[in-house]
Amino acid sequence: MDDSKYDLVVIGGGPAGYAAAMRAIDFGKRVCLVEKAKVGGAGVYNGALSSKTLWELSQRVKNVNETIVSLGRKPFEISWKEVKKTLDEATFERKFQYSCHIKLLKNQRKDLFSYIRGYGKILSPTKVAINRTRDSEEILLETDNIIIATGSSPRKIHNIEVDESIIMTSDGIESLEDYPKSLVIVGAGVIGCEYATIFSNFGKTKVYLIDRANRILPFEDEDISEIVSKNLEKRGVTIHHDAQLDRMQIVNGEVEYEITCDGKKEIIRVERALLSVGRESNYTNIGLEAVGIKKGENNRHIGDDDTRTNIPNIYAVGDVSGHIALVNMGEIEGRHAVEKIFENKQTRISYDNVCTIMFLEPEVAAVGVNEQYCIENNIPCKVVKLDYSIMARAIAMRKTQGFFKIIVQNDAEMKILGMRAVGEHASSAIEAVALLIKMEKGIGELAELVHPHPSIVEGVQECVRMLMNKSIFKASVFKDKLECYSLVDGVKTPLQRL
């Protein structure tokens, strides 16, 4: 067997590339996975796993303090050294799983699987060069198909010097040696708000959040933005709304930034800064120009049609394809590309039922469209909203802040268009709704399903019953807890209920 000839070469060992390589093995195809640095990518390091480990730990600290401070005890504190130890343990555990899996797989299925550490560059539609990181040796591979899964990196801001020590991106935030006494976060999207939540939960850092819009999380409904914003401010976060960042620079080992709000300029000095303004696709120096692979809109990503580029046997998946930058979607795209290659799969990827979690305070889970989208695109719909304070499980947990919101078509069939869950266990509540969206089903199935009791997902059933006018609690009685209305031409009309 020619050791340099493969059915598939995957460039990039993050979530998308790794999933693609493993799916190719299922088809009995010979695959080579190429990774320049760390297998797992941002899904493990400086991203999904690491930031969520920080969030989980900060939530525990916050929850403990909410209990003991009310009893007159001093707040519980955890050192950054202990935080970093927990973070390193979580990262190592996942890294160890990947490492062991690759090593054992190379031994057990060496006829199918190869892994090479190095920089991959496409020379032609059937040739890839690998420049190894440990030596100058270049390896040439021949392949029938190529998948590009080179991920993304934090976007920088022009004229702001990032040293990953004082002014940082998510790549440098975890290298902190201690809690900063003060931290400014540029960007009030999901990641910026997540880090604001994390550091405010620990209670050791004064947090400032620069928001160039009039409210944080501007892509979500206003009621979600409002509840998250109020909780951040309650925990001492200063949010600069409608703020223009005029200048940010390092002065005497600290960060000085100047903003303009409502025509007034303000200069503030903090210890550290975190830039959270999105991510950029990693596609430079991988050979796109050599083979004529076209880029997507504004040259921000690789152009693709259902994962396939304009070169028939070359595919782009994960962050580099410019769709939804999530670990779960990267894995789905990687697997989908392999199925298109070796199974001639015709069904296209659907992004309509993508489940997302925002690790905020409180937790926010989403699937499908939101109310704001329906208004902006003039989509007639019905909306039902149920407050956490009337859910038995939320009452038992003493976590009654939050709500469920389900959006359905404005007709008798009432197919589900989307859902937002805000509150404790929110991420556990959207899965059934996501399945119904994928199946293009109405709400009837959920109305009669016997849900576990007490559980947060019972709230989904009660929302459905409200839409069907057979709820246990009547909206006419609990007007501040229950809402059910139609949206047509942007006009909100309460649905008459007993």
Cβ(358)–Cβ(365) below 8 Å: yes
> Is residue 480 very low, low, confident or very high in pLDDT (cuts 50, 70, 90)?
confident
The pLDDT-based confidence of 391 (bands split at 50, 70, 90) is very high
CATH for 167-277 is: 3.50.50.60
pLDDT (tens digit, 9 = 90+) per residue, 320-360? 999 999 999 999 999 999 999 999 999 999 888 899 999 99
Domain ranges of the chain: 5-44+88-153+280-343, 167-277, 362-494
Of the candidates 457, 370, 326, the residue with the CA atom closest to the CA atom of residue 52: 326
Residues 396, 454 contacting (CB under 8 angstroms): yes
Q: What is the mean pLDDT of the chain?
A: 93
What beta strand segments (E) does 20-179 contain?
A: 31-35, 113-124, 127-132, 138-143, 146-148, 152-154, 167-168
Residue 382 in contact with residue 485, Cβ under 8 Å? yes
DSSP 3-state of 99: helix
Q: How far is CA 285 from CA 11, 131, 162, 290, in A?
A: 12, 12, 22, 10
Q: Which segment of 23-27, 71-75, 302-306, 359-363 scores lowest on mean pLDDT? A: 71-75
* H or E element, residue 310: none
Q: Which residues, 6+ apart, have CB-to-CB distance to 136 below 8 Å?
A: none
Is the distance from CB of 484 to CB of 475 less than 8 angstroms?
Answer: yes
| Burial class of residue 450 (count of CB atoms within 10 Å of its CB; 0-12, 13-18, 19+) | exposed
75: Cα separation from own chain's centroid: 31
DSSP letter at 299? G
Residue 134: per-residue pLDDT:
60
CA angle centred on 408, ends 404 and 412, rounded to 5°: 135
Query: Is the CATH code 3.50.50.60 the one for domain 5-44+88-153+280-343?
Result: yes
Amino acid identity of residue 248, one-letter, is M
Chain center to CA of 84:
22
- Tokens representing 321 are 């394809």
The answer, yes or no, to whether residue 233 has pLDDT greater than 90, is yes
pLDDT of residue 1: 43
Residue in 55, 275, 279 with CA at minimum distance from that of residue 187: 275
pLDDT tens for 439-458 read 888 888 787 788 889 999 99
Separation of alpha carbons 172 and 318, rounded Å: 22
Residue indicated by tokens 């839409």:
467
Pair of tokens at residue 322: 């410019």
pLDDT above 60 (res 486): yes
Stretch 353-381: mean pLDDT, rounded?
A: 95
Give this prediction's pTM: 0.93
Contacts (Cβ under 8 Å, ≥6 apart) of 390: 462, 473, 478, 481, 482
Instruction: Give yes or no on whether 167-277 and 362-494 have one common fold.
Output: no
Q: What is the 3-state secondary structure (H, E, C) of 225-271?
A: HHHHHHHHHHCCCEEECCEEEEEEEEECCEEEEEEEECCEEEEEEEC
303, pLDDT greater than 80: yes
Q: What percent of the chain has pLDDT over 90?
A: 80
Which stretch of DSSP H or E encloses residue 483? Answer: strand 482-488
Alpha helices (H) along 321-382: 327-343, 371-376
Using alpha carbons, list the distances in angstroms from residue 98 to 42, 88, 325: 14, 15, 21
pLDDT class for 496, splitting at 50, 70, 90?
Answer: low
Q: Which pLDDT score, from 0 to 100, does residue 297 have?
A: 85
User: 148-182, pLDDT tens digit by residue?
Assistant: 999 999 999 999 999 999 999 999 988 899 999 99
Average pLDDT of 278-306? 93
The Cα diameter of the chain in Å comes to 77
Per residue in 350-363, is it b (16+ CB within 10 Å) or e — as a string? eeebbbebbbbbbb
Q: Which pLDDT score, from 0 to 100, does residue 135 have?
A: 61
From CA 467, how far away is CA 447, in angstroms rounded?
A: 10
Helices (H) and strands (E) in the chain, counts: 12, 25
In the numeric block, the tokens 């902006």 are attached to: 376
pLDDT band at 265 (very low <50, low <70, confident <90, very high): very high
Place of tokens 């040439």: 140
Q: How many CB atoms lie within 10 A of CB 184?
A: 28
**Considering Cα of 231, then 236, then 241, then 247, what sign does the dihedral take?**
negative
pLDDT band at 48 (very low <50, low <70, confident <90, very high): confident
d(CA 164, CA 177): 12
Cβ atoms of residues 193 and 360 within 8 Å: yes
Average pLDDT over residues 82-105: 95
Q: Answer yes or no: is pLDDT of 498 > 60.
A: no
**DSSP 8-state secondary structure symbol assigned to residue 155:** P
Q: What pLDDT is recorded for position 352?
A: 86
Polymer length of the chain: 498
> What is the average pLDDT across 290-295?
94
Residue pair 474/386 in contact by the 8 Å Cβ criterion: no
Q: Which CATH superfamily is domain 362-494 in?
A: FAD/NAD-linked reductase, C-terminal dimerisation domain (3.30.390.30)
Tokens of 274: 């975190």
**Could you tell me the two tokens for 109?**
């299925």
Mean pLDDT of 286-299: 92
Nearest alpha carbon to residue 361 among 214, 154, 199, 241? 199
For 261-271, what is the mean pLDDT? 95
State which amino acid sits at residue 465. R
